[in-house]
Chains A and B, each alone.
Chain A
Amino acid sequence: MRAQLDSRKVFQTANYTFLIGISLLCILPFIHVLAISLSSKTAAAAGSVLFWPVGFTFKSYDYVLSKPAFVDALLITLKRVGLGTLINMFLTILIAYPLAKEVRDFKYRTAYAWYFVLTILFSGGLIPTYMIVNKTYLMDTIWALIIPGAVPVFNVILLLNFFRGLPRELEEASFVDGAGHWTVLWRILVPLSAPALATIVLFTIVGHWNSWFDGLIFMNRPENYPLQSYLQTVIIQQDLLRVASQSLDSLAEVSERTSKAAQIFMGALPILLVYPFLQKYFIKGIVLGSVKE
């Protein structure tokens, strides 16, 4: 008994150490980059920055925020997040409602469901999608970032399963009272689905904020790039092509590395601020989506 208690203690200590170590591994790279973004050019180049800024300065942020390209890209992203989330949510709700009906209430329910689900199973691929977006005159407009993905089928499935879990008596009573589908959907089902909807809204916002590839291929002019596409060109492409940025050398306290670090951090900031508070919603949402009975 005594030996068992001791080995339990050893295990607990090792377990705590291991898991705390793992969590540090997840957060330290971010802290390191944040520290670099707040350090002076010379300290960053000398490699003396670990997890605390050396030669503390906001110059890198001043520099980045003074670049019109960065600010314009940020505005485009905000526009896309707002418009895109609104349209995604509206269509998700509108599609999930009929598909949540039983076949005896809505004969074509299964046919429609397969019509939408097929698009997850099979896709035309990159090149034909590009051609269609091109042919429908969306190139270089904000709609190229919103319309092709306007129907998020996974979210529709999530919500329709949630609708099906709600007590049917509520809507039946409303139908008896003479309410139509539209009223039942918006007045009864939507308010009851607040937790599921909050989860989907969160994922939609994060998805739009993080999207970069559509901006890269559907925008011919870089001034139409949303933030993540813009960051792709300044942080990733620059580095991979080993192109040295000339314009920065003239600035005394900002280097390419510190300004990149500042841009990385600003691209992540909204998500860093929001996600800890939404934890309980998305845990509920993901469990609801994957383990259902």
Chain B
Amino acid sequence: MRSKRIKEMPLHLMLLPGAILVLIYCYGPMFGIIMAFQNFKPAFGFFRSEWVGFGNFTYISDLPSTFQVLYNTVYIALMKIVAGLVVPIGIAILLNEIGKTFIKRSIQTLIYLPHFLSWIILGGILIDVLSPSSGIVNRVLEGIGLPSVYFLGDNRWFPFTVVVTDLWKEFGFATIVYLAALTSINPNLYEAAIVDGANRWKQTWHITLPGMMPIIVLLTTLSLGNILNAGFDQIFNMYSPQVFESGDIIDTFVYRLGLVDAQFGPATAVGLFKSIVSLAFISVSYLLAYRLANYRIF
């Protein structure tokens, strides 16, 4: 009976403006995917450009750099996923051992500072401090007798530099969720463990980690969806032609192919490939998260 009293029309009206904007700017581009199957010329538009079937896809797979780009993407993304899970969990456990609230707070405030800044700011800072000639990091390395390293210009170093600097930006912020999980563990468990003679290490292993397990499982499964996200914003602002071999990823490749070289068809085809693979991984990860951690997005 209650549902009769609540009118539905105003609800539709509230959704209308947002629904229209999403239709144009989110579903519109999905329609634009037909460019992947066209020799798209802006002058002819979506409807009069020549259809080429899977021509763009074969063109892309024949390019020598394509598989290197795919490899770089997965390699960097996987390293980021693993580091982004392990380090924040470790830091959260260590932070939890700190008794003085003021110090704990201050450390937290400092470690999530980089999260809030753009990769323009951080890229600018990193280019300066990692510079092989004048950067402070290399001056320190030389000071302790090590050879200087061209972190952003050497293919052997670039992927690791990307992973470590991304970790530097995000680990503090990622720690928040784990800390919240830690504080919700029932203190009685620890008291009981102490009575039973468990030391700190045993308490961590048998109480703290299991207590964090649900959130660890959840975030691990959800991070699967990022398998092709190696971080456009970061890499675009830190790479240069000399590290394309180790640092060029799908997103930067699409950008150069489409917006710099104006090869709209092939670029859209690569983008479509990425969207489909990502969709598959995200769907699986959400399904796993639902099964394992009873997680629902809405």
Query: Mask for B123-141, Cβ within 8 A of A = 1, else 0?
Result: 1111111000010100100
Bound CA–CA A90/B35 (angstroms) = 34
Looking at B25, B233, B279, which has the most chain A CB atoms within 10 Å of its CB? B25
- Select which of B30, B91, B106, B109 is within 8 A of A128 by beta carbon: B30
Query: Mask for A105-120, Cβ within 8 A of B = 1, else 0?
Result: 1111000110111010
Query: Mask for B18-49, Cβ within 8 A of A = 1, else 0?
Result: 11011011111111110100000010000000
Instruction: Bin the interface of chain B by size.
Output: 35 or more
B28: chain A residues within 8 A (beta carbon): 124, 128, 132
B146 at the interface (CB under 8 A from A): no
B176 engages A286 (CB within 8 Å): yes
A268 at the interface (CB under 8 A from B): yes
Instruction: Bin the interface of chain A by size.
Output: 35 or more
Looking at B95, B134, B173, which has the most chain A CB atoms within 10 Å of its CB? B134
- Select which of B199, B237, B251 is within 8 A of A232 by beta carbon: B237
A94: chain B residues within 8 A (beta carbon): 14-15, 17-18
B128: chain A residues within 8 A (beta carbon): 32-33, 36, 257, 260-261, 264
List 13 contacting pairs A-B, 8 Å CB cutoff, sorted by A: A15-B94, A20-B107, A29-B125, A99-B298, A108-B12, A112-B15, A124-B271, A130-B258, A147-B21, A150-B18, A213-B232, A272-B113, A276-B109
A57: chain B residues within 8 A (beta carbon): none
A236 engages B124 (CB within 8 Å): yes
Given A124-B275, A151-B21, A231-B121, are A131 and B32 also a contact pair (CB < 8 Å)? yes
Chain A contacts with B in 258-293, Cβ cutoff 8 A? 260-261, 263-264, 267-268, 271-272, 275-276, 279, 283, 286-287, 290-291
A236 engages B121 (CB within 8 Å): no
Bound CA–CA A290/B295 (angstroms) = 9
Given A26-B168, A126-B255, A148-B25, are A275 and B2 also a contact pair (CB < 8 Å)? no
B282 engages A23 (CB within 8 Å): no
Number of A-B contacts (CB under 8 A): 265
A194 at the interface (CB under 8 A from B): no
B11: chain A residues within 8 A (beta carbon): 97-98, 101, 106, 181
Bound CA–CA A272/B239 (angstroms) = 26
Question: When A and B form their complex, which 9 residue pairs have the shortest distance between CB atoms, in order from nearest?
Answer: A124-B29, A128-B32, A125-B271, A210-B118, A128-B29, A23-B110, A98-B11, A119-B26, A235-B124
B6 at the interface (CB under 8 A from A): yes
Query: Mask for B245-265, Cβ within 8 A of A = 1, else 0?
Result: 000000100110011000010
B209: chain A residues within 8 A (beta carbon): none
- B201 to nearest A CB, angstroms? 9
A33 engages B125 (CB within 8 Å): yes
B33 engages A124 (CB within 8 Å): yes
Bound CA–CA A70/B12 (angstroms) = 44
Given A47-B134, A148-B25, are A275 and B30 also a contact pair (CB < 8 Å)? no
B259: chain A residues within 8 A (beta carbon): 126-127, 130, 217
